[in-house]
Structure 1
């Protein structure tokens, strides 16, 4: 297709159309960026992704700070816990708290997982065929990428999964935010009359868009680099280059699998694709497919909220299975196959109506009894695993926070005595960003206890106040003025001091809606006291 026709084709799709008569890639890119940035959900998506990226880019970011971000999004909490309890991560055992999931996954992988969940949740709200096909193809490529990484000895298969997943970010964003432009571009690069130059121009457009948005959202540098195809063969020991080869190869494989091709043509294209990205053709099995379990693709699509059976790639796989059955009879799966060895094919009984493969996995439930009992078990596991003190205390705080939140809990804080001055300073926070709460929440320690904090510290007792507007006792206000200034309405508060050999070294602070503690069942308050005791034991032992 001549350049002028390609430009006219794009112009015809715009609503409103571009103002200029002829268009370069840069002009089309700017128009699409304008549509992306004016999308109603773009600021929300951008803010959430940027916050996660910013936090994980900082050195030694506290687990509690990351848990705060995740716990603020119920959907993300649920999906993260489902993922950590999926087959691939069963080596960790059952995990029911976000804090422990973060510890086990590591902050870098948490960031990548959260980015994918946040973005895909936005994109899959558009149920168009274009979006479904692109998302399912991206998930397929991600599973293939992880498989290639494992087979080639790459040290971090999960990184290969994420980089393969985001390889076509620019195309996905264009399809979602500028569907007219995307439809016109797709029409111009398909069919027998399409020229290679049009395909190249469109690919460059999607690449430039994806990289610019990814950088503005603070995506990790490796994900951005892997959006490009490897162009110069570098040392096989260069991780970024190897990662780029894997991501590009996996996405090319996904394109080929999506097409309806005869076995010989598919084999030829797969071998050529792997050669182009400097991967061995031995990665292809005898039937022309990369070996990887299609069940993983279905599971991840389910986790991301995508209807896999509606996609073109699912239809292609199903068609190929039917052709194989007609030629060879029904497929029989070897009983000793592992997930890693299973052929990349749809299950014989696949009909698009099966229940979610993740339906039996734990949800981020608001069932307080479950939260507390699971949390207590995880605290015990953390003790046995000699988990770092801050991480263990974060698991304890998260269990309190999630267990009591359905009754109106607003914030949970861990405060530790300052060694330089008589004050308690915030060490961990759930419900508020740590930096924000630390800027004003500091408890002066006085020789004579007069407010709720100092009374609890001096008497080493738990104190629960159901109404912060309680009148003064013997002329002394129970709630200190510095706290009253930052409370916008009456609240309930609980103070649980921590001490070693009768020396107060910290406290746990709970704050909820007025009369909060009268609504909490006594057995849940007992759980809180047990967790408080475990926190004290953890501090004493370290």
Structure 2
């Protein structure tokens, strides 16, 4: 071919494809082009494509050179795979390229089209392993014959790519099965999708963020130092207890509510959030953790509890300024992830909140427990070092390493551990699982929040580049990103308003509250905190009997609302027990019931410290002896025992109760229905004489018992 025929095109290289057609690498007016020879005459201009895909390069127009027709494509920084030094690429990167090749083929097949030509000469990539396929000009209607040809071409190309240009080399058996599936004569249009899923699964498992390697000794040293901090063991125990509650359906509500109720501050804060405008769509105030779980779901309440526990604990440390700044950044990342979840196709919004927050866990732990090292890291960053480089140089591990190791120590489930992992550099591939989509979302939010706290950069340009990086994974557009950023800022302002005037005053906190993607847009309006429903949880803030009456009254209303709808009997009984437990300050509150008329009472479930040890021990044979449990049921009489060692009482306390050693004062409320002795509501305190119940409290306590009887009457077979 002579360049003189068309002097404006400078031919750089000629690549011959297996089908006899050529690909010319050329330049014209400073633009790099790929000219793909066509077997048929091309139209004067490319038609508007109805099956456009970001990895399918759009052709620019026809070119005629030396009597041959070519389709012109912008090459820019892309080079054909044929010219790529494949042996220098790790296997995982080559498989990533293979995944990117299959993705647009699947899109074409779904549109009833096929590419027709798939060779190392017609697939381009850049130094970041971003792929672009040539051939839009030659797309044809899909037919069984053309599909068969395309699958064979795909199998040959992928085998060549994965083997680094040596297709005769033996392949990993797991990879071989997906390549062989493309070659199967019976393969259909779903073969590419199945192959992509298999390769993506292999890639996900082999590119997992490794929590065991890379500075393991340094990580162990950091974890050991945190274990010796005065408050870290208590925080770890609380978080691990909440995570441990993810067990069988019949037990997990009890386990989760018990874990939360051990922390009065967490209980009150969680109920306040549940009763806020963001969660009150079901109507009416919620006064118990048990009902909150029933209404909003186990996962929502567990994840809310974890986020509150983590943020509240690490936000309220004494050396507060720089810690509050990082804590607010951590919270905002989670709020942004939760806000963006629906727009990004992530269903578990509250789980997105956790994963988003945990993206910054390593930095938050560092600023809390390694203050000197944190300041050294900040100094290195100010001097021009990257965050990862500065953290590794100072700590011997990255922030992500520290966060992942601690989250594993806290027994977070595997899907959340996956969701908090950072994404590798380069374009983020289309996720094949919900876990990988969650990971992409939380990683996007972390990167965006870090970007928004930086000064001296063009936020609009940086945001567009970030959206481009995640465009295939999340399909997030500019308008939803702006809208949800403003929503997250509103939620952050409302939350910080509750924490006091010093919250959110740090430079990064201020930057996040006022951040805009586009400086030409008006600044976000300062929004007042959303009014929340009346707070039924102020037992600690309201002194004495009045505060307990507030909790008991709210609980009675809570149970009334539950009785008016569909409910499970055990769920409602747990709400009653929790109201008793919190409203009267019991050490333990339990329900004892009989499985049959001739069987003894047996404690079913309840609340209080080490209640799981008390449940099997509390077993009363009411048909023999002279115990107070039998008397209460026989007489259907409520009993308040002030001191089990009082002379008039001691002989009526059964031996099995003394062996438990649980409490010296307790109350018994019999559950008798139509002369059937069903069970007893039980509440206790350890110290004798400490259980004083005012008349109004006693009236509300009896109302709770009557509500229990009403629920049992409606569902008698389920007790």
Instruction: Assess same fold via TM > 0.5.
Output: yes
Post-superposition offset of 1:384: 1.2
Q: Which residue of 1 aligns with 2:645?
A: 469
Partner of 1:459: 635
Instruction: Flag the 1:48–1:436 CA change in 2: closer, same or farther, 3 A.
Output: same
Q: Which residue, 217, 231, 252 being the options, matches 2:410?
A: 217
1:132 aligns with 2:324: yes
* Distance in 1 between residues matched to 2:611 and 2:256, nearest whole Å: 10
8 Å CA contact retained: 1:70, 1:76: yes
Residue pair 1:143, 1:297 contacting (<8 A) in 2 also: yes
SS at match of 1:96: coil
Q: Which residue of 2 aligns with 1:188?
A: 380
Higher relative contact order (CA 8 A, sep 6+): 1
CA distance in structure 2 between the aligned counterparts of 1:62 and 1:318, rounded to whole angstroms:
37
Q: Quote the offset at 1:368 in angstroms.
A: 2.0
Hey, what does 2:659 align to over in structure 1? 485
Residue 224 of structure 2 is aligned to residue 46 of structure 1: no
Q: 1:505 offset after TM fit, Å?
A: 1.7
Alignment correspondent of 2:453: 258
Give the equivalent residue in structure 2 for 1:228: 421
* Worse-superposed segment, 301-310 or 162-171: 301-310
Please give the per-residue CA displacement for 1:348-369, whole angstroms capped at 9, x wherever unaligned: 4x8xxx8x76787516222122
Task: Report the alpha carbon displacement of residue 163 of structure 1 after superposing the two structures with TM.
Answer: 0.8
Per the alignment, residue 431 of structure 1 pairs with 608
Gaps of 5+ in 1: 1-23, 332-344
Q: Show the counterpart of 1:14.
A: none
- After the TM superposition, which residues 61-210 of structure 1 pair with which residues of structure 2 at under 5 Å, given as runs? 61-93=251-283, 94-124=285-315, 125-192=317-384, 194=385, 198=389, 201=392, 205-210=398-403
* Aligned-pair CA distance for 1:535: 0.6
Which consecutive unaligned segments of at least 5 residues does structure 2 have?
1-213, 540-546
2:693 aligned to 520, 526, 532, which one? 520
Aligned mate of 1:394, from 566, 571, 574: 574
Q: Distance in 1 between matches of 2:509 and 2:587?
A: 45
Change (3 A) 1:506 1:363: closer
Give the C-alpha shift of residue 433 in structure 1.
Answer: 3.5
Deviation at 1:115, TM superposition (A): 1.9
The correspondence for 2:438, drawn from 234, 243, 254, is: 243
Distance 1:167 1:217, change over 3 A: same
- Answer whether contact 1:120 1:304 (CA < 8 A) is retained: no
Cα pair 2:333 2:445 within 8 Å, conserved? yes
Query: SS at 2:245's partner residue?
Result: helix
Q: Secondary structure at the residue paired with 2:439?
A: helix
Task: Say which SS state the counterpart of residue 377 (structure 1) adopts.
Answer: helix
Tell me, yes or no, if the aligned pair for 1:267 and 1:288 is still in contact at 8 Å: no
CA shift, 1:401, in A, is 2.0
CA contact (8 A) 2:277 2:530 kept: no
Distance apart, 1:395 and its partner CA:
1.2
- After superposition, the Cα gap between the structure-2 partners of 1:57 and 1:311, relative to the gap in structure 1 and judged at 3 Å, is farther
Query: Highest CA radius of gyration, 1 or 2?
Result: 2
- Identify, as 1 or 2, the structure richer in helix: 1
Residue 77 of structure 1 deviates from its aligned partner by 0.9
Determine the C-alpha separation between the residues in 2 that align with 1:245 and 1:28: 28
The reply on whether 1:508 has 2:681 as its aligned counterpart is: yes
The C-alpha deviation readout for 1:305-348, integer Å capped at 9, x for no partner, is 79443132343257768x97xx89xx5xxxxxxxxxxxxx5534
Q: Which residue of 1 aligns with 2:525?
A: 347
CA-based RMSD: 3.1
Deviation at 1:38, TM superposition (A): 1.6
Q: How far is 1:252 from its partner? A: 0.8
Q: Deviations over 1:429-458 (max 9, x none)?
A: 1224342112311111225x5111111222
TM-aligned CA distance change 1:389 to 1:197, over 3 Å: closer
* Separation in 1, partners of 2:449, 2:493: 14
Note the C-alpha offset of 1:186: 2.7
* C-alpha distance in 1 between matches for 2:640 and 2:279: 40
C-alpha separation in 2, matches of 1:214 and 1:131: 19
Residue 309 of structure 1: aligned partner: 504
What does the per-residue CA deviation read over 1:68-94, in whole Å, with 9 as the maximum and x for residues that have no partner? 322221110111111101121021322
The answer as to 2:231 corresponding to 1:36 is no
Are the aligned partners of 1:443 and 1:453 in contact in 2 as well (CA < 8 Å)? yes
CA contact (8 A) 2:594 2:600 kept: yes
